[in-house]
Structure 1
Amino acid sequence: MTAWMRCYWGEEDIWFYFEVDADGWVIRQVELQGPEPAPIAAASLAEWQQAHEAGRIEEYDSRFGITAEVPVPEWEGHDPEQLTFEEFEEVWGAARRRIASRLG
């Protein structure tokens, strides 16, 4: 079952938004930083894998970032807030549009 959540990391003032699969692996991830949250990442595991297979991983990483490399159940010290699909999609869409506009 897919789940959506967010966590805050105060040290860097970053909100992390996650879409995770039934095993806890991150499928999509958004990172927003600062008082007026600006997207610094909006990565998709499927897109990352496609970029890796095509030899374009560095280009993808520099534009969209990467997803977490361990499943959520293995994380320590996080207190996720559950989100709805719609809440996640709103953040995902806005972050992707903003990143795309910077790449112009």
Structure 2
Amino acid sequence: MTTWFRTYYEDEDLWLYFEADDEGWAARQVEVRGQDPRPVTAVSLEEVLHLRDRDDLAAMAQYERQFGVLAEGHMDGWRNQPQAAEISVEEFERLWAEARRTLGGSA
């Protein structure tokens, strides 16, 4: 079952929002700085895999500069992170669309 949740990294004043697939891996990720609520990351596993399979390293590097790097590893244990909470799919989709607009890509 797909899960949407958020966590907070106090040291970096960074909110992390995830869409985790039914196997517990990050499918999409949005990061927003707390003091200036500007999105800094909006990355998609589907897009990363597409680039890996069909483009070159330069295209992947450009994507990472524009949209960031997807978290690696299983999302188990997210509930133990600071200020962790499940969020609705609607909240995640709103954040995703806003982040992609801000970072210069389509939602």
Instruction: Please give the TM-score of this superposition, normalised by the length of structure 2.
Output: 0.86
CA RMSD of aligned residues (A): 1.7
Q: Deviations over 1:62-100 (max 9, x none)?
A: 111121110111669514210010010010000000111
Q: 2:73 — aligned with what?
A: 70
Q: Answer with 53-62 or 83-92: which moved more.
A: 53-62
Contact kept? 2:79, 2:85, Cα under 8 Å? no
Q: Answer with 68-77 or 34-43: which moved more.
A: 68-77
2:30 aligned with 1:30: yes
SS at structure 1 position matched to 2:76: helix
2:100 aligned with 1:99: no
Cα shift at 1:34: 3.3
Count of aligned pairs: 101
User: 5+ unaligned residues in a row in structure 1: which ranges?
Assistant: none
Instruction: Please give the TM-score of this superposition, normalised by the length of structure 1.
Output: 0.89
Give aligned-pair identity as a percent: 39
Contact kept? 1:45, 1:66, Cα under 8 Å? no
SS at structure 2 position matched to 1:52: helix
Contact kept? 1:25, 1:71, Cα under 8 Å? yes
Structure 1 residue ranges (4+ consecutive) displaced by more than 3 angstroms after TM superposition: 74-77
